[in-house]
Amino acid sequence: AQSVTQPDIHITVSEGASLELRCNYSYGATPYLFWYVQSPGQGLQLLLKYFSGDTLVQGIKGFEAEFKRSQSSFNLRKPSVHWSDAAEYFCAVGAKVNYGGSQGNLIFGKGTKLSVKP
């Protein structure tokens, strides 16, 4: 079955500290992987994506993620967290639209809420 697991429901870090949010997936085909961020009451904004090539991808706001096929993981990292990074983060997996019959819907994890201490 296709699924995404974000094992941490809530993480609190101090401002300036490093951050790593975990994501593991189960997917039959070669996956497209995504990290989205959501502020309260807002839609989802794409942070970064991986679909091929270099397994370390850079995103917006200083975030990066590393795809590890052997571990089925796509963890999100940031070297120094800012108070404005407090939000909920979602990992998602999907296939290319119309590839192998896929309709392109993304499968999401349940999210990790990040709190930042001053």
Q: Which CB sits closer to another protein, 15 or 72?
A: 72
Quick one: CA dihedral 16, 7, 30, 49, positive or negative? negative
- Binding positions for another protein, rule: CB under 8 A: 9, 32, 34, 36, 41-46, 49, 51, 90, 92, 94, 96-98, 103-111
Q: Which CB sits closer to another protein, 70 or 103?
A: 103
Closest CA to 85 of 19, 41, 23: 19
Min CB(44)–another protein separation in Å:
4
> Quick check: 85 and 79 in contact, CB under 8 A?
no
Q: Which CB sits closer to another protein, 11 or 15?
A: 11
Min CB(118)–another protein separation in Å:
25
Min CB(87)–another protein separation in Å:
14
